[in-house]
Structure 1
């Protein structure tokens, strides 16, 4: 068997075992979006009117609108939690041992990223199943079409987490960094309200939301849930993935990030 495949299997299996042994992580991944769907959406339903806009063909409930954003929330929190484990692995020396393997650094980090993304996708489908039980569902083909969108969005957010973990020196500091990344990315996006609604109150905030990579990840998921293609969102997510992965590779360069963090 190719050493590349062996490394992929070993790293993905390690991520899966870590997830299985952390049951509270799975519950937390579902509780957060379900609170927004079942509690906050009930309060915002009357305050936020939603017009007909792609990919929707008719007026929709607020719960239906925020489901793609909540799918993105699941991927975002999973990416940050996976990155937290990277900081821990670096402090214990496991990450240094991994990167000394006789394989390209990019492949090893991609394997780590792939394992975390697969777990995030499973969490999203669990959330979609629960949302369907409460009457918030999509087209049958959408559940299949959304898989590539979830994979690309998960890889992009996971690459962001990799880049952040390469810059954080201590485990204790990562929680603060997560708060400065997760909440601005989530709230300054189209996850909870459309961009045209944001433009009514502030053109500047609308432009910030439009430049947010998480917005494009959410829109990619939103269109895919209705088996529709959003080329602009795909392009921006792909560009963000490349930029974040390049930053992660730079940060985990033994001549820079890992060695310097020990100094």
Structure 2
């Protein structure tokens, strides 16, 4: 057990040091949601009407509505960024060295996932702090209750990144795959618009958004921020997490994944 904990500490510390030395990564993680919050929200505020929907008890401004979605954006982009570093580590050989450890492969991947998720959550709380300074706040207890939701959502999106990294052979191919995954997941979700609003223009689009795992991750965060429970969002997010983790473990299986592609 001490060996397992040593591996966990070493991998998480490595992720933390990498993050500290890449300050532009932290700034980029905050710039994206702040642009949406300060620029796009100002334009959409008058054009997009919002009805009273759970978990809100009254009418809200568009800025308040998109805060949970922007938290999800940070988790999503950081999950993809972490998977990019995995592809880089594999090309440099450090990932292959890590996977030669006598510890189980699933534990090593889980340690990497824990490290990237912890960094994502720190970025989310930094964004929430800036939003609070701008006057966009949630109930104070919501900041605490949102932590489990952020962990679950972060693990799910990080597992998606792990799965993608196991099937991408070259670093040059990663940008295209990221765009193919990130933007459809983000825009076809409830992060920026409620599902009932999408249904007004296209029922099919609303149905696609309703099965998007990112939608349920955002709703899990949204309800948690307002001290409410969303069991359906939790169930769907956990199922997606299990699926993405299983896919990642399959992809990193020596008999099928990156070890077989060694030559």
Q: Same fold (TM over 0.5)?
A: yes
**CA distance in 2 between partners of 1:101 and 1:259 (Å):** 14
CA offset digits 1:196-254 (Å, max 9, x no partner): 00000000000000010000000000000011110000000000000000000000011
5+ residue gaps, structure 2: none
Q: Give me the whole-angstrom Cα distance separating, in 2, the residues matched to 1:52 and 1:259.
A: 52
Kindly state the Cα deviation for residue 261 of structure 1 after the two structures are TM-superposed: 2.4
- 1:177 matches 2:156: no
Residues 1:256 and 2:256 are matched in the alignment: yes
Alignment of 1:147 onto 2:140:
no
Question: What are structure 1's unaligned runs of at least 5 residues?
Answer: none
Give the drift of 1:55: 0.3
Matches of 1:91 and 1:6, distance apart in 2: 25
Partner of 1:123: 123
2: distance between equivalents of 1:228 and 1:115?
A: 28
Shift of 1:93: 1.1
Deviates further, 89-98 or 7-16: 89-98
In the alignment, the residues of structure 2 paired with residue 72 and residue 242 of structure 1 have an alpha-carbon distance, to the nearest angstrom, of 19
Tell me the secondary structure at the aligned position of residue 246 of structure 1: helix
TM-score by length of 1: 0.99
- Structure 1 segment 29-40 matched on structure 2, within 5 A: 29-40=29-40
Q: Which residue of 1 aligns with 2:206?
A: 206
- The 3-state SS of whatever aligns with 2:47 is coil
CA distance in 1, matches of 2:260, 2:144: 44
Match of 2:71 in 1: 71
Task: Say whether residues 1:219 and 2:212 are aligned partners.
Answer: no
State whether residues 252 and 259 of structure 2, in contact with CA within 8 Å, keep that contact through their aligned partners in structure 1. no
Bigger drift between 154-163 and 253-262 goes to 253-262
Q: Which moved more, 1:95-104 or 1:25-34?
A: 95-104
Identify the residue that residue 13 of structure 1 maps to in structure 2. Answer: 13
The match for 1:26 is: 26
Task: Work out whether 1:162 is the aligned partner of 2:162.
Answer: yes
